[in-house]
Amino acid sequence: MPSASTIQMVTQLSYLVAAALFILGLKRMSSPVTAVSGVRWAGFGMLLATLVTLAYVMGAPSLNASSLNLMLMIGAIAAGGILAWVSGKRVAMTNMPQMIALYNGMGGGAAAAIAAVELYRGSEHSITHLAIATVGGFIGAVSFSGSLIAFAKLQGLITKSVRFGGQKFMNLGILLVTAAFGVMIVSGMQYGLPAISLFFAFALLLGIAMTLPIGGADMPVVISLYNALTGLAVGFEGFVLDNAAMIIAGTVVGSAGTLLTQLMAKAMNRSLANVLFSNFGETSSAGGAGVTGSQKAIEASDAGVMMAYSQKIIIVPGYGLAVAQAQHKVWELTQLLIDHGVKVRFAIHPVAGRMPGHMNVLLAEAGVPYDLISDLDEINAEFETADVALIIGANDVVNPDARANRASPIFGMPILNADKAKNVIVIKRGQGQGFSGIDNALFVLDQTRMLYGDAQAAVSQLIQAVKAAG
Ligand code: NAP
């Protein structure tokens, strides 16, 4: 039997290896080429940290874990592992944001549960220890309930954004009550079951109350904010448990999530405060953007001829391309057009699809070379020189109202300037709205033609039409 100090040293070394795997994994996730291996590296790090912790708890006599405790731990690891494996295998790419929201929530909830246990032990701990547990527990609980509401909204279980006068003051009130209970617990005035239960109940309520009014188009920012908060909560509870792997993993997730939140907010041209406390993306004013005029349809054969004789085409992929899994057909069409001497570029909006980098991942999967892909800042000036902007299943990210119509709920969000192209061809199934639930002025412009149909089928027809055009 190895000595206690040997067990301790091996455990800490394993945590260091796990932490290095998290960081290297994250680094690899920043490019679509290495992203898959990055996920594997980080996942392996997590597996290592979990198994080492379990072995440590089993082996350390000082912890005195009962066999019931061990059985509960093994049962939880098995149940969590199986559920995550099965749901990860089954989830459609387009439902990934919901899944991320749910996993965020679980992380926050787990951190809050650790805090609850430590707080119930109360007087055994120093004030600093209790304060760290309380702050981590608060953040974890807010992130847990907020993420569940975000999940319900993305899943379509909650369709309305609940707003009423004085809502911000009510939220401030809930925050103050939660803080008051937190102070009572940490100061030792109250650390019994009722105070701790009320503390968590109000923190959970705050997460719900904060998230309910947030509109659809802001969900990407909210999800990444809760991701950052969950990381922070886990980091705090890592200090409470004196667990290096949790501290490092929590800090890495917290800082990565914070950067992502900033990037997403910037992509929507909004400050975080604006996302949390204003009415952007309100769907009850849906269609209120005041779009008038009618959409004009085009046949694939005519669209194909127009494209075959173009000099420059900019393709704008969106959520509908992901739903239809049309990326391979789109690449086939692109190669055909390039063979015809057409200059083809892809324009990617930072919030196109349903998760950050969604379009880049799909195009990479189909083998589209990176030098054909440009982001919003790089390509926006080029639409004016494009003969055709081909919009495939995108909607909100090309809505000119965001630029020109102050009354639009998405006014101020940077968009791809597809409306500046000489001709616009839009592939979508019908008159359906995008994620933010508003009409799109682009679809009724003089130079716009609608090619109705599922993206994969429509792009296949375009391929035939371009071939037929010679
Ligand atoms: P979008 O505005 O949601 O519009 C997608 C369009 O695709 C719909 O209008 C729909 O119209 C069409 N469509 C659906 N299925 C289709 C199919 N099988 N074939 C062809 N078309 C199909 O998409 P987007 O322009 O990519 O904008 C993304 C939106 O999602 C933004 O509002 C963004 O804020 C939000 N969001 C983004 C993220 C992120 O991280 N990227 C996360 C959450 C939310 P039809 O029904 O008529 O076909």
Residue 207 has pLDDT above 60, yes or no: yes
| 168-174: long-range contacts, CB 8 A cutoff, minimum separation 24 | 168/277, 170/209, 171/206, 171/209, 171/210, 174/202, 174/205, 174/206, 174/209
* pLDDT at residue 359 greater than cutoff 80: yes
| Distance (Å) of CA 17 to CA 80, 211, 214 | 23, 37, 40
Residue 231: is its pLDDT beyond 90? yes
Out of 7-11, 20-24, 30-34, least confident range: 30-34
CA of 426 to the centre of ligand 1 (A): 13
Q: How far apart are the first and last CA of the chain?
A: 78
Model confidence at 258: pLDDT above 70: yes
How much of the chain exceeds pLDDT 70, in percent? Answer: 94
Strand order across the 373-375 sheet: 373-375, 343-348, 312-317, 388-392, 423-428, 448-452
pLDDT at 372: 96
Q: Are 217 and 281 in contact (CB under 8 A)?
A: yes
Burial of residue 156 (number of CB atoms within 10 Å: 0-12, 13-18, 19+):
exposed
Closest ligand 1 atom to Cα of 431: 47
With a 6 Å cutoff on the Cβ, whether 355 touches ligand 1 is yes
pLDDT computed for residue 288 by the predictor = 46
- Please tell me the distance from the alpha carbon of residue 396 to that of residue 342, in angstroms, as a whole number: 27
* Residue to probe by mutation, ligand 1, list 104, 214, 227, 354, most atoms within 8 Å of CB: 354
| Average pLDDT over every residue of 354-381 | 90
Closest ligand 1 atom to 413 CA: 34
> How large is the average pLDDT for residues 409-429?
93
Q: How many residues does the chain have?
A: 470
Q: What is the mean pLDDT of residues 82-103?
A: 88
pLDDT of residue 3: 78
pLDDT, tens only, 391-403: 999 999 999 999 9
pTM for this predicted structure: 0.79
Residue 454 a catalytic site member: no
Q: What is the mean pLDDT of residues 43-67?
A: 84
Contact by Cβ (8 Å): 452, 462: no
pLDDT digits (tens, 9 = 90+) for 156-198: 898 877 778 888 889 999 999 999 999 999 887 766 888 999 9
In this prediction, residue 369 carries a pLDDT of: 92
Confidence of residue 365 (pLDDT cuts 50, 70, 90): confident
The response to whether residue 151 sits with its C-beta less than 6 Å from ligand 1 reads: no
Find the DSSP H helices in 29-126: 35-59, 67-90, 96-121
The per-residue pLDDT for 281 is 46
Inter-residue contact 165 to 99 (CB < 8 Å):
no
Residue 287 confidence (pLDDT): 45
* Residue with CA closest to ligand 1 atom 40: 355
In one-letter notation, the amino acid at residue 266 is K
pLDDT in tens, 272-286: 777 777 654 444 444
Give backbone dihedrals phi and psi of 86, rounded to 5 degrees, phi first. Answer: -65, -45
Residue nearest to ligand 1 atom 29, measured at CA? 435
For 89, the 3-state DSSP assignment is: helix
Among protein residues, the one whose CA lies closest to atom 39 of ligand 1:
355
Predicted confidence at residue 80, as pLDDT, reads: 92
For the ranges 32-41, 274-283, 316-325, 451-460, which has the lowest average pLDDT? 274-283
Ligand 1, atom 45: closest residue by C-alpha: 432
**Of 218, 396, 401, 419, catalytic:** 396
Q: What is the Cα Rg of the chain in Å? A: 26
Tell me which of 269, 351, 399, 440 to substitute to probe ligand 1's pocket, judged by most ligand atoms within 8 Å of the beta carbon. Answer: 351
Using DSSP bridges, classify how beta strands 448-452 and 388-392 pair: parallel, antiparallel or unpaired.
Answer: unpaired
* The pLDDT of residue 156: 85
Dihedral angle at the C-alpha atoms of 306, 309, 312, 315, nearest 10 degrees? 40
pLDDT of residue 120: 86
Is 440 a residue whose pLDDT tops 50? yes
How far is the centre of ligand 1, averaged over its atoms, from the C-alpha of 393 (Å)?
A: 6
Mean pLDDT for 259-277 is 80
Pocket residue to mutate for ligand 1, from 319, 349, 452, most atoms within 8 A of Cβ:
319
Highest mean pLDDT among 79-83, 96-100, 216-220: 79-83
Which residue's CA is the closest to the ligand 1 atom numbered 11? 432
The residue-averaged pLDDT of 285-292 equals 56
Q: What percent of the chain has pLDDT over 90?
A: 61
